[in-house]
């Protein structure tokens, strides 16, 4: 597995039935089975052709009746599970999957590629509370990981934008990402062609970042 997938796998709690929504090659589902972090697993993809890769990797578990492969748009054809992972998708796509789902599991693990703030808001609105929410670095890129369980929660604006765990303590990856963003914002603000509304927006973002750097 890649470093990104290893971080995600390490952050997943044990469960009885694990579902990987949009499973790609199925590496995390295989690790969950190999290391006995789940008893059963469901792998899914919206494309039957794409699902073949994961089915091939997990063929022994499928033959043993421990892994089920389904062609599913989000949770549409996924039976009940304790923990579901949605990783490597855009935040808006994850929000759409959560919004459309009629039945959601007890726990969710989400790794959006962007628009993480929207994912946090929608997940809490769907009745989840945040257990973990942190930024990590892999192959010179930054990723958000959010683990949630059903329950009530309230997010401040700062938690929505930056992630609860990131602003609670020292996270080197989070600080590094903010420094990079602050440098880019400073460059943008030195552009004399910026319109006043855009300049004000970027200035406010830079001031917000400076609180944590």
Give the pLDDT score at 141.
96
Flag whether pLDDT at 203 surpasses 80: yes
User: What is the C-alpha to C-alpha distance for residues 40 and 62, in angstroms, rounded to an integer?
Assistant: 10
Flag whether pLDDT at 213 surpasses 90: no
Kind plus residue range of the DSSP H or E element containing 118: helix 116-125
User: What is the C-alpha to C-alpha distance for residues 78 and 149, in angstroms, rounded to an integer?
Assistant: 18
Between residues 193 and 39, the one the model is more confident about: 39
Task: Please list, in sequence order, all residues whose beta carbon lies within 8 angstroms of the beta carbon of residue 23, skipping any fewer than 6 positions away.
Answer: 29, 43, 44, 45, 51, 54
Report how many helices (DSSP H) and strands (DSSP E) the chain contains, helices first. Answer: 10, 7
Give the pLDDT score at 41.
98
Q: For the residues 11-29, what does the mean pLDDT come to?
A: 96
Give the pLDDT score at 195.
83
Q: For the residues 86-112, what does the mean pLDDT come to?
A: 96
Give the pLDDT score at 196.
85
pLDDT, tens only, 38-72: 999 999 999 999 999 999 999 999 999 999 999 99
Q: Which of 96, 95, 88 is nearest to 118 (CA)?
A: 95
Give the pLDDT score at 87.
97
Mean pLDDT taken over the chain: 94
pLDDT band for position 189 (50/70/90)? confident
Give the pLDDT score at 191.
76
The fraction of the chain above a pLDDT of 70, given in percent, is 100
Give the pLDDT score at 95.
98
Give the pLDDT score at 170.
81
Between residues 197 and 193, the one the model is more confident about: 197
């Amino acid at each position: 597995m890649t470093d990104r997938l290893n971080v995600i796998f390490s952050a997943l709690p044990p469960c009885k039935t694990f579902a990987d929504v949009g499973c790609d090659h199925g590496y995390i589902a295989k690790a969950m089975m190999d290391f006995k972090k789940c008893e059963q697993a469901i792998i899914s993809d919206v494309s039957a052709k794409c699902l073949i890769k994961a089915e091939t990797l997990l063929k022994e578990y499928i033959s043993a009746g421990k892994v089920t492969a389904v062609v599913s748009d989000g949770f549409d054809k996924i039976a009940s599970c304790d923990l579901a992972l949605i990783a490597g998708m855009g935040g808006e796509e994850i929000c759409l999957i959560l919004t459309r789902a009629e039945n959601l599991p007890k726990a969710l693990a989400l790794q959006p590629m962007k628009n993480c703030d929207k994912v946090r808001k929608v997940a809490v609105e769907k009745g989840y509370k945040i257990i973990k929410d942190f930024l990590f670095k892999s192959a010179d890129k930054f990723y958000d990981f959010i683990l949630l369980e059903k329950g009530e929660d309230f997010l401040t604006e700062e938690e929505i934008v930056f992630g609860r765990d990131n602003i609670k303590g020292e996270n080197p990856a989070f600080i590094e990402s903010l420094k990079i963003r602050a440098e880019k914002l400073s460059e943008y603000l030195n552009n004399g062609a910026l319109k006043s509304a855009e300049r004000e927006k970027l200035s406010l973002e830079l001031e917000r970042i400076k609180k944590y750097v």
